[in-house]
Amino acid sequence: MSHLKFKLTSVAALVLSATSANAALYQIIEVEPVGVSLTDTTEVYGEAIQPVSNLETVDELGSLGCFDTSADAGVCESYLVAGDTRDGIEGVSFREEVAFSLDNSFYYIQTDDGDDYFESYCYRYLGYSTCEDSWAPEQWSGFSLERNDETVAQAFIEGDDNAFDNSYNTVINSLTVEGKAAGNMRTGASSQSDFQDNRNEAFSPVPLPEQLPDDYDYQSRAWFTDGTFTVGSVSKKYTNDNGNSYLSKAAIWSETDIHTFDWTASREKDGDQLSQSSLRSLKQKNEKIYAVGYDTYYADSNLNMNASIFVSDSTELDGAVWSTLPINGVQIDSDRIYANSVATDINSNLVVLGQAKHYNDRNPENGAYPDKIFVADYTGNNSSSDTWSSVKFLNSMGQSIFFNGAGGKAGAINNFNEIVGQIDSQQNREENGKQRRRRGFIYPYDPVVSDRADIFQNKAWLLDDLTNGGEYSDANNHYRIYDATDINDAGVISATALKCTNSSGESLSYDSTDHNSYCNGGVGNTEKLVAVKLVPIPQADSSSDEGIVPRDYINESAERQGAGLGWLALTFLGWISFRRK
C-alpha cells in the first residue's frame, strides 16, 4: 500500500498552524466496526494501529511525524485501526495462554457451573469488596456464554467488510504495514465439557506450518507479525487434577519454518502447575531476532511465569541458536513480590516494555495489587553482547500520573520511545474497596528526538488532557480515552474511548470538559465503549505551558455506567485485555 508511505508536503503547511497554541494535540476519530454481525454488541475496542511503511530508521520519517506542520493530513488519517467487539463481558481473556495471565494450574476456570473460583481469584489477587456481589458473578456470566458456545467477540479492520468470517470468537493483536491482522479465533463449536477444544487458532499473513512439533496443535495464538516472522505460542493438550488443560510453548514461525522454545524450567509440570511460555513482539536488528514475552522458570517449588527476552544468533530460523534471558527485577521467587510478569513490546532501540503483577504475599502497595508497567533499557554492544538493565517502573520515574501503587496495562512503545497504555486515574484504596477508574496515557520515555518530546513538554500525560482545547475541542469532548493500545512512528494511536450518548444512542458532549464530567446529567446508562484513533494535530510550538490545556476535576464523584455495564465491569475488561504489542 504505497499510499501509506509517510510523506511531507508543503500543501498542508498552513493547516491548523494558527490554532496550535492553547490547542489539543490530538483529533479523536471514531472507527466503526465493519463486517460484524452481532446485534447485541455492547463494546467496541480499538486494538492495533497500522505501522508506518518502509521505515528503516526513525530519521526517515521526519522528527515530528504527523505533528509536523508539513505532514500530509490525508496520510495521517489513513492509518488503519483494527479491533474487536464484545457482546457482554468475556470473563476469561480470549488472548492469554492462561486465565488472568497467571493461572497455570487452570484452577480458577474449573467448570463447576458456579462463580466460586472466580470469587476466590478476586479475593486473592484483586481484593475488591465487590468480589462476591458483582465482580465474580459478572465475569462468570460472560465465561458461561462461551462455555455454552455463544459467540461474544468479533473482529474488524477499519473499512474492510470482509476481513473476517466472525462465525466464532475472534480477536486481533496486531496489524502489518499492509493492513493484515494477526490474532486468534475459535474454529468450531464446543460443549461445556470441552470448551477449550477449538478455542484458539492463530491467524496471520504468515500462517503456521501445517505440521507442528510434538503434538503442539491443540491451540495456537499469534500476537505479532512483521510480515516475515510471526510470534506467539502453540499448545498441547494435557490433563491435570483440574480437568482438561494444556501446555504452551513460545513459538516463532516463517512461511517455511517454525521454532518452539523449551522452557527454562526444563519440565512440563509440577503438581497441577503446567509450564507455559509465549512471545508477544519481535524486532530484527544486528542480523539477529530479538523477541519478548515470558517463559516458565522453576523456583521455590513453583513453576513461575517470568518476563523474558529471546535472542537468536541469526535471522534464519532453520539452524539459529537462541538464548532466553529473564528480565531482572520482576522475577518470581520465594518473596512472592510478583505473581507473574510479561514483556509486551520491543522497539528498534531494543527498549523492552512490560508489566508485572504485584502480589507480595497478599500485602498491597498503596492499597492495591497493581499491574506495574516497566521498561528495560538495552545495555549491550549491538554485536556480541546483548544485555538489558534491570526494570524501571513507570511509577518510580517522577511522573505525576504514575503514582505509587498505580496499576495499568502496557500498550506499546514505538521507535521514538513513546509509550502508550492504560493507568489508574484514581487513588482510592482497592483492597476492601472499589476498583479505580482508568484512563489512557502517553509517555515520551528517554526521547530519541528532543523536538518531538518537547511537544509533550517531556512529560507523561493522560490522553484526555491532550484532546482538550482548540479547533477540535468540542468534538473531542464527546469522548474520554479509556485505553491506548498501540502507537505507530507517525504518532497515530489506536484506542478505546468512552463515548457520551443519550438514550437513543445519539452522540452528546460531556456536560463539561472536566476529566470526571457527567454524561447527559448522569441520567441513565448512556455511555458506551467505542474504538477510536488519535491523529496528531500539527503543532507550531507546544513546548510551553500554554500549548497544552489540562482538564480539571470536579469535586463531586461522577459514578458512571456504560452500555449497560457497571463501571467496575468496564474497568476490568480493560485490565484483562492485555496487549501484545
Tell me if 479 is assigned to some domain.
yes
CB-count exposure of residue 198 (10 Å: 0-12, 13-18, 19+): middle
Question: 112 falls in which pLDDT band (50, 70, 90)?
Answer: confident
Q: What is the pTM of this model?
A: 0.91
User: Average pLDDT for residues 499-510, to the nearest whole number?
Assistant: 94
Say if residue 243's pLDDT is above 80: yes
* 8 A C-beta contact, residue 310 and residue 232: no
Q: Give the span between the Cα atoms of 135 and 89, in whole angstroms.
A: 11
What percent of the chain has a predicted confidence (pLDDT) above 90? Answer: 73
Residue 288 lies in a domain: yes
Quick: pLDDT tens for 514-526: 999 999 998 877 8
Cα–Cα distance measured from residue 254 to residue 226, given in angstroms and rounded to the nearest whole number: 10
pLDDT for res 333:
87
| pLDDT band per the 50, 70, 90 thresholds, residue 150 | confident
pLDDT at 22: 53
Count of beta carbons in the 10 Å neighbourhood of residue 214: 10
Mean pLDDT of the chain: 88
Residue 327 lies in a domain: yes
User: Which pLDDT tens digit goes with each residue over 253-276?
Assistant: 999 999 999 999 999 999 999 999
Question: Could you give the 3-state DSSP secondary structure of residue 11?
Answer: helix
Number of domains in the chain: 1
Tell me, what's the pLDDT at 9? 36
> Highest mean pLDDT: which of 55-64, 86-95, 211-220, 390-399?
390-399
Whether residue 461 contacts residue 448, with contact meaning beta carbons closer than 8 Å, is answered with: no
- Do 257 and 320 contact (CB within 8 A), yes or no? no
The greatest distance separating any two alpha carbons of the chain, rounded to the nearest whole angstrom, comes to 67
Q: Is residue 581 part of a domain?
A: no
25: pLDDT strictly greater than 80: yes
The pLDDT value recorded for residue 543 is: 54
381-391 pLDDT, tens digit each: 998 899 999 99
SS3 301: coil
Amino acid in the structure at residue 492: V
In this predicted structure, which of 142-146, 316-320, 390-394, 577-581 has the lowest mean pLDDT? 577-581
C-alpha grid cell for residue 366?
Answer: 498503596
Range(s) of the domain holding residue 398: 2-108+116-576
Q: What is the pLDDT of residue 541?
A: 53
Could you tell me which of 480, 357, 345 has the C-alpha nearest to residue 420? 345
Provide mean pLDDT across the span 505-515: 95
Residue 8, domain member (yes or no): yes
Which of 319-323, 381-385, 479-483 is predicted with the least confidence, judged by mean pLDDT? 381-385
The reply to whether 213 falls in a domain is yes
Nearest-5° Cα angle at 357, 569 to 252: 100
Q: Is the pLDDT of residue 298 over 90?
A: yes
Cα separation, 212 vs 235, whole angstroms: 10
| The most confident of 135-139, 243-247, 419-423, by mean pLDDT | 419-423
Q: How far apart are the first and last CA of the chain?
A: 22
Report, as an integer, the average pLDDT of 316-329.
96
Residue 276 belongs to some domain of the structure: yes
* Model pLDDT for residues 525-573, shown as the tens digit of each residue: 789 999 999 999 997 555 554 579 899 998 754 444 443 333 433 444 4
Give, in order, the Cα–Cα distances in Å from 371 to each of 84, 117, 315: 23, 21, 33
Q: Could you tell me which residues are beta bridge partners of residue 225?
A: 230
Q: What local confidence, expressed as pLDDT, does residue 16 receive?
A: 35
Q: Is residue 284 assigned to a domain?
A: yes
**Can you tell me the mean pLDDT for 22-51?**
90
**Phi, psi values for residue 431, rounded to 5°:** -65, 125
Q: How confident is the model at residue 87 (pLDDT cuts 50, 70, 90)?
A: confident
User: Which region holds residue 381: left if phi is over 0, alpha if psi is between -120 and 50, else beta?
Assistant: alpha
SS3 of residue 521 by DSSP: helix
